[in-house]
Amino acid sequence: MKYLIVGLGNPGPEYTHTRHNIGFQVLDHLAATAEVRFSPDRYADRAELRHKGRTFILIKPGTFMNLSGKAVRYWMEQENIPADRVLVITDDLAIPFGAIRIRAKGGAGGHNGLTSIIELIGTEEFPRLRFGIGSDFPKGRQSDYVLGEWNGNERKTLAERIELAGKAVLQFGLLGVANAMNNFNKR
């Protein structure tokens, strides 16, 4: 059984450690843990890992966030993976820092990456893991906050929260979205 795991972020070294790139950071953790490497491929950097009989195709779109749907659609078609076996990992301002919320489907909630994916694959019916980045920014400074690097307090627990998100990804593939929701949405 194959799963497409999409980490959302922006390409380029200036975005590497930003809140908006948490999707890339979770996939980097999974790849490092499984000792697999990302390679440049069509529309994305791609890695493949196997875990307990499941294959996880990890992609980090090479387009900017608001064009992520192009990579998702291409790899869904290329790997013949239906929307219910796609998991999109994204940052979320509406969730406290480090909290994880998994949903089986839903709207974009103002997130440009999700908007692009919904438009290009033609459905909102795909699972997503939303990683909370909090909303501790002055009015009118949302973009600076989202594209800013993690602060000192966040960095203290970021690695363990990323590890938890990685475990949620694997459980999604092994036990399904409902079990992953039950086991990780309260942690």
Q: Could you list the active site residues? A: 20
* Closest among 69, 68, 64, 74 to 11, alpha carbons compared: 64
User: What distance in Å separates the CA atoms of residue 153 and residue 158, rounded to the nearest whole number?
Assistant: 9
* Closest among 2, 18, 111 to 53, alpha carbons compared: 2
User: What distance in Å separates the CA atoms of residue 92 and residue 42, rounded to the nearest whole number?
Assistant: 27
* DSSP codes of every residue in 101-154: EEESS---TT-HHHHHHHHHHT-S-S-EEEEE----S-TT-HHHHHTSBP-HHH
Provide the β-strand partners of residue 92.
132
CB-based contacts of 177, cutoff 8 Å, min separation 6: 84, 87, 102, 104, 127
User: What distance in Å separates the CA atoms of residue 12 and residue 113, rounded to the nearest whole number?
Assistant: 16
**Residue position matching structure tokens 């929307």:** 83
